[in-house]
Structure 1
């Protein structure tokens, strides 16, 4: 249940298909090139305990999402990087203030930090949630914590937000997020704050299964590179590097670390189960002397739970952070399989692509947290109305794909009509009216995946010009 809740609430990444990455064009001025080639290695500090985003491991090595990004930025700029180790995030911030380090790879922008840092445009975005004990009721934002203790890692942007907007709250500061989580687990504070992927990692990695995601904060973390503000050439170079990073590579880095997190959580779970099993066996033999039959029955139950746990973790690796449905990488793979299967059977493949109308404007008018909530709501609504033999996932920011490999053309059109009517007539949260443009495509055997999706996406764009809430179809002839 914990993984399901985390998966359904997690808002970050629209994973795109993995393909060969073209070298991005980076246009530095002559002055920037000369400066970078002649300067000393760029010194940087990180949060040493902020996985999966960044950390310093027991061997003193820099790891995490930001390590992969910094490797790419260093390659683009042809510079050398030098890590300045610290014990905690507060020390890293202080080093940046004192010019001990030249930059911080992942940091949220704030007026206080702008006094000593220049910032690139954000390149990673995550929602912040409240985490509490399993027995805690739903927490309706930070205002619901009045009269209770909130623990926050010192130096985190959350602290500035709470201080400026909720000065009445009783706040305790910890040296790290892990310490904050353990404080909540021990009942010494009602809640803490964290971004959802980091909460997932820390809770699973450190066996804090008594904790849960208990509410939203309406805070969104926008992570940029913070460069010392007395070095404008270095700041402008990193801004250009962020802009030049290919979106496919950006999403592959995030997807790679997401899958690693799941595997680590699964391995840790196996270890815990095995240790628990050995303890059960020792106590069993020493004090209870149960029969071999009873022992085998208990062992079977443990193995069944372990198998179920691993299956859920494996499924999580295929799912979109925010909505819990299949993500773009998995949909790409499944679409390719379905095209090959239909080609072998000599049958056409039917797919449905639908795109939410004017969704960017909804995000602007109602805020991104509301937009995230609507995406989750649409996903649940559609899932409930799809037959079991379909495959449903997120194709883009506000577009969704349904694969119908076992459905006839007539049945696929009926499914599309149901989805079209359901979305356009449903009363969504926050009294937001949503509509969707829905397209049904029939792909004949031996058709190429890229041509199929290119043509159906173009059809969606063309129909949107006629107004919201369109329902249309096309047949793509074989290229052979």
Structure 2
């Protein structure tokens, strides 16, 4: 019996691979420090973003401590060449990177990379750029992809944080990051999306040959429930609840007031920086990340403000509710990526064809709402007809042509928001009943 037990013990020992390596208790994750909303350095130097929250959840579930090294994108790649236990928190798999990295199966995090073009140009796809330089992230996936697929394109690689600039005529980058930076610069109306270059899913990578660590990560990521991944994704991509951290600026302010003099000037500067950062985050929380328009939350705030103005000054107010005709057929026939491109193009037409005083928002799905202050229903009808013609004449990605239906109503003294919107919705329904591509005023 003793010999039998000893043999079993020896077999168990031999069954363990000779090169098996213990997973470290602390996982060190690297990524870009300027890639919002995926990974970036916050105002206090702390790591923030979708991937940061995902890795913290991974560490909690797998009882591992997680630390982050957020740096320049190129440097984050170099770290995997020089340090065996470094983990890249999320990137695209490529043949070049596979020479020194081992990748997990893709995560449930699809990402669109798109071509952004200045409104000074009239370009609909990458091949039309000609001699116009295209800004891309140095050592990024887009750089390698475009060099391979479009060798004639003149690329200008920049560090990740310098790709998006008002001085560029064209750049290619990930859509959520581009929208964040353009809104921060107040330049979202100076560029349009000309083409979606590709849609891929992010993977995690480890240094070449570190299969045990890769397998451990792959299993741990699969064990995170879909609803938890969706919660983290919605938090950052939809930007529904972003709140700045006021604690440290407040503490610094109190300290500087006591110091006086020179330090008071420092406080003033710091407050301005915090206010600017707060404004950026507020813009993210008020913006539909796909189209760049106001989201429904922000439109509710605008409506409340306009109701207050109407009650106080009795100025006219008109709503225009718009629905893209047969949009479900577009998604079913061409897929949701093309559907997203149609929504983006639709939003661009609304922005370019309305007045600066008109507030435009994505109300939900394929519905859009325009709040026209100091505008009568007759004036709103003229604007809607103009938009209807522009939309019908425009060219849309893949589907070419598209139409929309419009419902219009003007506020009256007995209205609340529910009655006003119900009337506008009824007008839109009437346009659909009449065969769509119509404008109805109620």
Shift of 1:160: 3.1
Match of 1:437 in 2: 405
Secondary structure of the 1:429 match is coil
Shift of 1:423: 0.8
Q: Where do residues 406-417 of structure 1 align in structure 2 (5 Å cutoff)?
A: 406=374, 411-412=376-377, 415-416=380-381
Secondary structure of the 1:434 match is coil
Cα distance in structure 1, aligned partners of 2:73 and 2:307: 49
Secondary structure of the 2:116 match is strand
Task: Work out whether 1:153 is the aligned partner of 2:113.
Answer: no
Shift of 1:214: 9.8
Q: 1:362 to 1:61 in 2, by over 3 A?
A: same
Cα distance in structure 2, aligned partners of 1:254 and 1:355: 24
Cα distance in structure 2, aligned partners of 1:459 and 1:40: 62
Match of 1:177 in 2: 160
Greater mean alpha carbon deviation, residues 162-171 or residues 439-448: 439-448
Task: Work out whether 1:45 is the aligned partner of 2:10.
Answer: no
Match of 1:129 in 2: 116
Q: 1:375 aligned to 347, 361, 366, which one?
A: 347
Shift of 1:124: 5.9
Shift of 1:253: 2.8
Number of equivalenced pairs: 365
Normalising by structure 2, we get a TM-score of: 0.57
Which has the greater radius of gyration?
Answer: 2
Match of 1:166 in 2: 150
Match of 2:302 in 1: 334
Q: Report if aligned partners of 2:87, 2:205 keep a CA contact under 8 Å in 1.
A: yes
Normalising by structure 1, we get a TM-score of: 0.54
Cα distance in structure 2, aligned partners of 1:190 and 1:380: 18
Cα distance in structure 2, aligned partners of 1:179 and 1:347: 45
Q: Where do residues 248-327 of structure 1 align in structure 2 (5 Å cutoff)?
A: 249-250=235-236, 253=239, 256=242, 326-327=294-295
Q: 1:219 aligned to 186, 190, 197, which one?
A: 197
Cα distance in structure 2, aligned partners of 1:88 and 1:60: 14
For residues 289-333 of structure 1, the C-alpha deviation after alignment (integer angstroms, 9 at most, x for no partner) is: xxxxxxxxxxxxxxxxxxxxxxx9999887767767655343210
Shift of 1:153: 3.4
Q: Where do residues 389-400 of structure 1 align in structure 2 (5 Å cutoff)?
A: 391-400=359-368
Q: 1:100 aligned to 80, 85, 89, which one?
A: 85
Secondary structure of the 2:31 match is coil
What RMSD over aligned residues (CA atoms) do the two structures have, in Å?
Answer: 5.8
Q: Report if aligned partners of 1:103, 1:227 keep a CA contact under 8 Å in 2.
A: yes
Cα distance in structure 2, aligned partners of 1:109 and 1:360: 33
Shift of 1:337: 2.5
Give structure 1 stretches of 5+ with no counterpart.
Answer: 1-37, 261-311, 475-480
Secondary structure of the 1:468 match is coil
Cα distance in structure 2, aligned partners of 1:200 and 1:324: 7
For residues 109-154 of structure 1, the C-alpha deviation after alignment (integer angstroms, 9 at most, x for no partner) is: 66777961222333665634368xx9x9777754356678766434
Task: Work out whether 1:427 is the aligned partner of 2:393.
Answer: yes
Q: Report if aligned partners of 1:129, 1:193 keep a CA contact under 8 Å in 2.
A: yes
For residues 190-220 of structure 1, the C-alpha deviation after alignment (integer angstroms, 9 at most, x for no partner) is: 9764457756887999x9x9xx969845425
Shift of 1:165: 0.7
Match of 1:267 in 2: none
Q: 1:235 aligned to 202, 221, 225, which one?
A: 221
For residues 404-443 of structure 1, the C-alpha deviation after alignment (integer angstroms, 9 at most, x for no partner) is: 5655xxx426624751574157411358332222234577
Cα distance in structure 2, aligned partners of 1:48 and 1:445: 52
Q: 1:405 to 1:70 in 2, by over 3 A?
A: same
Q: Report if aligned partners of 2:179, 2:289 keep a CA contact under 8 Å in 1.
A: no
Secondary structure of the 1:45 match is strand
Q: Where do residues 18-97 of structure 1 align in structure 2 (5 Å cutoff)?
A: 40=25, 43-50=28-35, 53-56=38-41, 61-64=46-49, 66-67=51-52, 69-70=53-54, 82-85=66-69, 87-93=71-77
Greater mean alpha carbon deviation, residues 320-329 or residues 390-399: 320-329
Secondary structure of the 2:370 match is strand
Cα distance in structure 1, aligned partners of 2:68 and 2:380: 57
Structure number with greater CO (CA < 8 Å, separation at least 6) is: 1
Match of 1:359 in 2: 327
